[in-house]
């Protein structure tokens, strides 16, 4: 046997926050040392932060990264540590992992496969390193190898796959295995998305089995730079068996996950493998050696601990709650704000945003001490003994009524605010709204009315609510949270500078149908360890309504649009799957056989026209959190022209297609037989 102690760390880093990033790395190294760890894998680009964007092309940033790298060296005594940073070589910038052995830089491995889809734009900043190539880089006073290299450290061979390298068909790990690698380190910055853990779990496990190695996977955690959430998914697998797994979506600055693995066991499994083909060409020019005395450790049984919430039948609800709560906490502290303000209308969206702040407070108190929370937030949170007390310090809600508001929504807003502990105000903006209306009426020389001026009269109410709540946020040095969801963003069912007002839009990445189901779950059950909020019954018993028309109009969202479930299905077909109107209609016929063709055509037509007409609104939305592959955020995921032809040809073809279908399905006319 040759047991060694290895570990991976999840780090909560911030782009260009040098002192914080170095402090987190040093803390992780010291925690690993205290656990007798010899090999520590840290996440991709953890020194600079992953989300530096165009700052990666700043020479000052690249130089500072090297400066910080040298600051780490003294902390790596008698350890093997990998650190991610950008490196300038041959006139190009590369995404690299630096291997440090006992206070000495041994070499840098450059990423071969750059993430270029979804929210990732790595080719904008980095070049992909070609397989089988390496060079020498002068860093400080020494020349070290850079590129497609691997290492012999005290007789144990170590190679790298950097994040995307493991997601492609031709993984570098296959070549490393042929050359006898014992450990493959994967420093990653893999963003959170629903069900994504299962994909990572498969390639980590399969990499360790197929390559006959110990595979060490690290990842970032938290809201690193504004939109992407990282879940801290850390895993260690050996010879096809998961031997350690870190907790996900935690609030600590770092989380260490360690395991003891047997190098001889994986070597002998490789020797027994009939499919293993060793690389026998004898060329080891890309193998770089370093002396290292591996300490003796005892082999222990793997203990893979899975949090109960990850095995819940409501795991998507659990993930949503915990991911957005963590993102809110990090956004709050990294923006240096002192709390949140929400215009709480008593409806689904604003209630969901407010409840997410409460869940943030409760999860933070479950993991961190009050002193730790105060230190991270940068201000004293006082005697917060529970989530309601902490929420009262961090969240202010406001119900802003007009003559069109109802007692139902007012009572719902007050009940939710009381249940979660928010500081709550109730004020009337009807007089402000009427002054706007009267000013315009005087200017244009006529009275406005609901028959001819419906949209204008609705929008001015939503906008009348914005100045006061912005003022409150400014007074408190707080973040105003916008309350629009993804379904509304898709069709522009939101008032710019009204309900879209805010510096952050926490639920703009999730659809309305999901939010309604989630709020009902939050009312009855809630996340494991957090519990339910019964007061949400006041919200859930209503039909969603903007309450912008007179009460006599009985306005509802779905009356203005279509059923939210149908809207969300059309959005997925049209935007995520890129289907044309006829194809969307064909899918809807199967899903809604009880609906007439005319109704389905009306839904599809309304969606496509509103989608095209309202791209400018999506461009103006406050930053939102990325949650899945259905995001509509034009800054990071879903690009669409602001001006377009509006699918008019395609919609005409849809109408012609349905007309032809209807004619084909009509029964033939009965003719009287001659007598």
Query: pLDDT tens digit string along 498-509?
Result: 999 999 999 999
For residue 672, is pLDDT > 70? no
Could you tell me if 476 and 333 lie in one domain?
yes
Whether the Cβ atoms of residue 49 and residue 64 lie closer than 8 Å to each other: no
378 and 520 assigned to the same domain: yes
Give me the mean pLDDT over the 413-418 stretch: 98
d(CA 78, CA 623): 44
Is residue 195 located within the same domain as residue 126? yes
Supply the range of the domain harboring residue 639.
562-666
Q: Is residue 671 part of a domain?
A: no
Which domain CATH number covers 51?
3.60.110.10
- Read off the pLDDT of each residue in 658-663 and give the average, rounded to a whole number: 89
Within-domain flag for 81: yes
Same domain, 499 and 600: no
Residues 606 and 541 reside in one and the same domain: no
Q: Tell me what the mean pLDDT of segment 377-396 comes to.
A: 92
Overall number of domains in the chain = 3
Q: Are residues 287 and 316 in the same domain?
A: no
Among residues 267, 286, 306, the one where a domain terminates is: 306
What strands lie across the sheet with 214-218, from one edge to the other? Answer: 241-245, 235-238, 214-218, 183-187, 156-160, 150-153, 287-290
Q: Is residue 407 part of a domain?
A: yes
Supply φ then ψ for residue 257, to 5 degrees. -130, 125
Kindly report the average pLDDT of the chain as a whole number: 95
Closest Cα to residue 192, out of 161, 155, 221, 157? 221
372 occurs within a structural domain: yes
Is residue 629 within 8 Å of 117, Cβ to Cβ?
no
pLDDT greater at residue 283 or residue 323: 323
In a shared domain, residues 473 and 553: yes
Segments of 54-129 assigned E as strands: 80-89, 92-101, 104-110
Tell me: do 39 and 173 sit in the same domain. yes
| 207/516 Cα distance (integer angstroms) | 40
Q: What is the token pair recorded at 6?
A: 């290895």
* Same-domain check for residues 104 and 236: yes
- Could you give the residue ranges of the DSSP H alpha helices within 421-485? 430-444, 454-464, 466-475
Question: What is the band of 1 on the pLDDT scale with cuts at 50, 70, 90?
Answer: confident
Compute the average pLDDT of residues 590-598: 96
Specify whether 499 is located in the same domain as 643. Answer: no
Please check whether residues 547 and 577 belong to one and the same domain: no
- Rounded Cα distance between 296 and 291, Å, is 16
State which of 557, 591, 621 marks the end of a domain.
557
Mean pLDDT is lowest, of 19-33, 295-309, 459-473, for 295-309
| 674 is a domain residue | no
Mean pLDDT of 275-288: 84
pTM: 0.94
Give the CATH number for residue 624: 1.10.10
Kindly state whether residue 673 falls inside one of the protein's structural domains: no
Q: What is the pLDDT of residue 215?
A: 98
Secondary structure (3-state) at 110: strand
**What is the band of 138 on the pLDDT scale with cuts at 50, 70, 90?**
very high
User: What b/e readout covers 313-341, taking b as 16+ CB neighbours within 10 angstroms?
Assistant: ebebbbbbbbbbbbbbbbbbbbeebebbb
pLDDT at 667: 63
- Give the span between the Cα atoms of 234 and 200, in whole angstroms: 9
Average pLDDT score over residue span 126-151:
95
Mean pLDDT on 54-70? 98
Name every residue whose Cβ is closer than 8 Å to that of residue 514 and which is 6 or more positions away in sequence: 320, 568
pLDDT of residue 118: 86
Q: Is residue 225 part of a domain?
A: yes
Report the side by side order of strands in the sheet with 423-428.
423-428, 395-401, 340-343, 479-480
Name the residue with tokens 């690290």: 218
Question: Per the domain annotation, does 397 fall within a domain?
Answer: yes
Report the alpha-carbon distance of residue 193 to residue 324 in Å, rounded.
Answer: 11
| Three-state SS at 513 | helix
Which residues are CB-contacts of 319 (< 8 A; sequence separation ≥ 6)?
Answer: 192, 194, 249
Last residue of some domain: 252, 284, 306? Answer: 306
CA distance 567 to 561: 8
Whether residue 298 is found in the same domain as residue 318: no
């Amino acid at each position: 046997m040759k047991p060694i102690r290895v570990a991976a760390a999840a780090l909560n880093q911030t782009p260009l926050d040098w002192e914080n990033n170095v402090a987190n790395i040093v803390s992780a190294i010291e925690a690993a040392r205290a656990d007798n760890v010899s090999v520590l894998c840290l996440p991709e680009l953890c020194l600079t932060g992953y989300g530096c964007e165009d700052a990666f092309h700043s020479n000052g940033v690249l130089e500072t990264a090297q400066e910080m790298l040298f600051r780490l060296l003294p902390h790596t005594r008698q350890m093997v540590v990998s650190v991610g940073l950008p490196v300038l070589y041959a006139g190009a910038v590369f995404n690299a992992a630096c291997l440090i052995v006992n206070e000495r830089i041994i070499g840098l491995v450059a990423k071969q496969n750059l993430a270029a889809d979804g929210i990732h734009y790595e080719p904008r900043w980095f070049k992909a390193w070609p397989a089988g190539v390496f060079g020498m880089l002068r860093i400080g006073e020494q020349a070290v190898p850079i590129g497609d290299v691997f290492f012999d450290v005290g007789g144990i061979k170590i190679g790298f796959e950097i994040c995307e390298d493991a997601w492609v068909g031709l993984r570098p790990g296959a070549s490393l295995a042929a050359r006898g690698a014992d450990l493959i380190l994967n420093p990653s910055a893999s963003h959170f998305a629903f069900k994504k853990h299962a994909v990572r779990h498969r390639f980590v496990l399969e990499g360790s089995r197929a390559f006959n190695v110990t595979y060490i996977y690290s990842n970032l955690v938290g809201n690193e730079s504004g939109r992407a959430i990282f879940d801290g998914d850390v895993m260690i697998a050996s010879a096809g068996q998961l031997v350690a797994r870190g907790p996900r979506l935690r609030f600590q600055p770092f989380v260490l996950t360690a395991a003891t693995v047997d190098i001889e066991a994986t070597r002998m499994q490789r020797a027994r493998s009939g499919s293993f083909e060793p690389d026998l060409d004898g060329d080891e020019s890309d193998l770089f050696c370093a002396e290292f005395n591996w300490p003796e450790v005892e082999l222990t049984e793997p203990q893979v601990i899975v949090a109960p919430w990850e095995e819940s039948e409501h795991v998507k609800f659990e993930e949503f709650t915990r991911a957005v709560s963590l993102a809110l906490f990090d956004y709050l502290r990294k923006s240096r704000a002192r709390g949140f303000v929400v215009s709480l209308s008593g409806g689904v969206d604003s209630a969901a945003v407010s409840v997410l702040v409460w869940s943030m407070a409760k999860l933070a108190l479950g993991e961190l001490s009050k002193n730790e929370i105060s230190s991270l937030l940068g201000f004293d949170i006082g005697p917060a003994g529970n989530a309601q007390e902490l929420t009262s310090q961090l969240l202010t809600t406001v119900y802003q009524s007009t003559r069109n508001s109802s007692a139902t929504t007012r009572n719902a807003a007050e009940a939710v605010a009381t249940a979660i502990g928010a500081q709550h105000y109730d004020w009337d903006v009807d007089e402000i709204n009427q002054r706007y209306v009267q000013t315009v009426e005087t200017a244009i020389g006529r009275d406005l009315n609901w028959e001819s001026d419906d949209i204008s009269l609705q929008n001015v109410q939503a906008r009348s609510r914005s100045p006061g709540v912005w003022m409150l946020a400014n007074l408190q040095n707080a973040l105003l949270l916008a309350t629009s969801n993804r379904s509304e963003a898709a069709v522009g069912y939101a008032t710019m500078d009204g309900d879209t007002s805010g510096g952050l839009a926490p639920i703009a990445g999730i659809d309305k149908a999901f939010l309604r189901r989630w709020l009902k779950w939050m009312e009855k059950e809630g996340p494991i360890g957090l519990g339910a909020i019964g007061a949400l019954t006041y919200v859930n018993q209503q039909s969603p309504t903007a309450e912008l028309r007179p009460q006599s109009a009985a306005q509802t969202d779905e009356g203005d649009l279509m059923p939210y479930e149908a809207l969300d299905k059309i959005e997925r077909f049209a935007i995520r799957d890129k289907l044309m109107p006829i194809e969307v209609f064909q899918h809807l016929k199967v899903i809604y056989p009880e609906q007439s063709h005319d109704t389905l055509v009306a839904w599809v037509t309304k969606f496509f026209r509103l989608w095209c007409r309202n791209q400018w609104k999506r461009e103006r939305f406050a930053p939102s959190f990325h949650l899945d592959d259905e995001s509509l955020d034009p800054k990071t995921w879903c690009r669409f022209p602001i001006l377009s032809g509006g699918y008019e040809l395609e919609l005409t073809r849809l109408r012609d297609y349905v007309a032809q279908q209807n004619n084909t399905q009509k029964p033939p006319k009965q003719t009287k037989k001659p007598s």
